[in-house]
Chains A and B, each alone.
Chain A
Amino acid sequence: MYRFNIYDLSFILRGFLITIGVCLGTMVISSPVAILIGLIRALKSKNLILKGLQSILTLYIKAVRGTPLMLILMFLFFGLPFVGVNLSPISSGIIGLSVYCVAYLAEIVRTGVESVAKTQWEGAAALGFTYLQTMRAIILPQAIKIMLPPSASFFIGLIKDSSLCSVIGFVELARAGRIIVEKTHQAFFVFGLVALLYFVICYPLSMMTQKMEKTLNA
C-alpha cells in the first residue's frame, strides 16, 4: 500500500499557500472597490448621472447575488475564451472571487454608513462641516465599527468558498487534497488534514471577529 509521504504533504501545503494567496489577493482587490461602490450607493443626491451610476451598481449587486459563485468562476474561465479573453485559472479565480466579494462587501459598507444616525449628519452640518469632512471625521469612524464584524465573517466565508476554484482546474487546498486522496487512498487522513488547514486560516479570523464584537459593544 502507498504511504502518505513528505512529497504529498508538501503538495498539500502548496495548495494551502495558494488558497491563502488567492484569498489575500481577492481581499486586497475587492476591499477598496467595495468601499468605493458602497459609498457611491450611500450618496443621497438628485444628480441624474449619479443616479444612473447608482442604478448600474445596484443591478450589478443584484446580478451577482443572484448567481452561484461556481457559475461566475466557470463563466470566466470556460466562457470568456469564446469572446477571445483567455484568463489563467489563477486570474479567473481571483477575478471571479473579487466580482463576488465586491457585491457583498459593498452592501456591508452601504448599510454601515446608512446605519449611522441621521442626526450625526445634522450635528455636523450645524457646525459647518462639508459632506466630505462629515464623512471622514464623523460618519466613517462610526460606520467602520459597524462594518468590521460582518466583513470579517464574510472573509471567513470567502476562504471556504475559494475551494470552488477547484472546478476551473487550479490546485488550491481542496483540490490538492483530492489529488492526494486519489493517489494515496487515505481519504480520512488527508481530508482531515485539509479540514484542519482550513480551520487554521479561519479560526484566527473568527476569534478576531468575536473580539471586535466584544470591544465594539463595550
Chain B
Amino acid sequence: MLAEILKLVNVNKSFGDLQVLKNLNLSVNQGEVVSIIGPSGAGKSTILRCINYLEPINSGEIYFENQSFNPLKSNIYRYRENFGFVFQSFNLFPHLSVVENVTLAPQMVAKIDKKVAQETAEQLLDSVGLIDKKNSYPKELSGGQQQRVAIARALAMKPKVMLLDEITSALDPEITGEVLKVVSDLAKQGKTMILVTHEIGFAKQMSDRVLFFEGGCIVEDGTPQEIFNNPRSDRTKKFLANILH
C-alpha cells in the first residue's frame, strides 16, 4: 500500500461570486502521477494553485504527509518548498542566467552552500539537456528550452510533489515533445506529480490516474483506461468526443 502524500478535504475556493472549487476532495499517493483534464475555465489550475497556497482557500483542509496545513500557524514559505510548481508561462527570472535561475532559490531560500547548489544545478540542467545553455539568458532560449529550465529550477528545491500547470500550452506542437520527455523521465523516477494538461495522449500514456474536472467538481476519477476507454459520465464522454474528434 502506497503512502498518502497529499489530501484535500472539502476544499472550497471562490473568486468573488464565482465558486471555482466546490467541496473538492482529492487524495494523492506517493509516486502517483495524476492528470487533471477538463474544459477551460473549469478551475483546473486553481486546484494546483490552492495546493501550494499560491491561492488561499476559503474553507476545507489540506493535508500534506498527514499533517493539516494551516497558513496561520505554519510557515507558508517552508510549506511551499514541498512543491515544485511549473507555470504555463515559465516565469523564469529574465535578469538571471539559466544556471542562476536554478541556483537562486536553493541558495537564498534553502540556504544551501553555493558550490553544492551549483553542482546540483548542473546535474539538473544536464538531465533536461540544457547544460550547454547554462550561461545563456532566458530570452535567448526557445519556449521549450525555457520550460525545461523552469522544470530544473523547480526540481532544484528537491520538492516532494511536482505541480505542472499546462506546461506545454504556450509551446508550439513541434517542441512540446522535448518538454514532455522531461516529464515522463520524472515519472519513471517515481516523482509524485499532479498535472493539468490538454495533452490527452500524454495524459493517457503517463498517468496512473486521470481526473475529469468540471464545474468545480471532480466528475470522474479513474485509471487512464477507465476514463478514456470507458468513461462513465455523459459529460466526460462528450468532452472526450469533442477533443478527440
Binding site for B on A (CB under 8 A): 119-120, 122-130, 133, 137-138, 141-142, 145
Contact = CB atoms under 8 A, between A and B. Distances in A.
Contacts of B78: 128
A120 B89 CA distance: 10
Contacts of B110: 128
Top 10 A-B pairs, shortest CB-CB distance? A123-B91, A126-B85, A127-B105, A128-B109, A128-B81, A128-B80, A119-B91, A128-B77, A141-B95, A142-B95
B157 A128 contact: yes
Contacts of A129: 77, 105, 108-109
A55 B83 CA distance: 38
Nearest to B79: A128
18 contacts: A119-B87, A119-B89, A123-B91, A123-B92, A124-B93, A125-B54, A126-B83, A126-B84, A127-B80, A127-B81, A127-B104, A128-B77, A128-B78, A128-B81, A128-B105, A128-B110, A130-B77, A137-B104
Contacts of A142: 94-95
B90 to A, nearest CB: 8
Interface string B90-117: 0111110000000011001110000000
Contact of B93 (A128, A130, A138): A138
Interface of B: 52, 54, 77-78, 80-81, 83-85, 87, 89, 91-95, 104-105, 108-110, 153-154, 157
Nearest to B93: A138
B93 A120 contact: yes
Given A128-B105, A137-B104, A142-B95, A123 B77 contact: no
Contact of B80 (A120, A125, A133, A141): A125
A137 B95 CA distance: 10
Given A119-B89, A127-B154, 8 more contacts: A119-B87, A122-B54, A124-B93, A126-B91, A127-B80, A127-B109, A129-B109, A138-B95
A123 B83 CA distance: 12
B108 A133 contact: yes
Contacts of B52: 126
B80 A122 contact: no
B100 to A, nearest CB: 10
B109 A133 contact: yes
A104 to B, nearest CB: 25
Contacts of B157: 127-128
Nearest to B78: A128
Given A119-B87, A133-B109, A137-B104, A126 B93 contact: no
A127 B89 contact: no
Nearest to B82: A128
Contacts of B87: 119, 122-123, 126
Contacts of B84: 126
A43 B157 CA distance: 27
A126 to B, nearest CB: 4
Contact of B91 (A122, A130, A137, A141): A122
Nearest to A119: B91
A145 B78 CA distance: 31
Nearest to B94: A142
A119 to B, nearest CB: 5
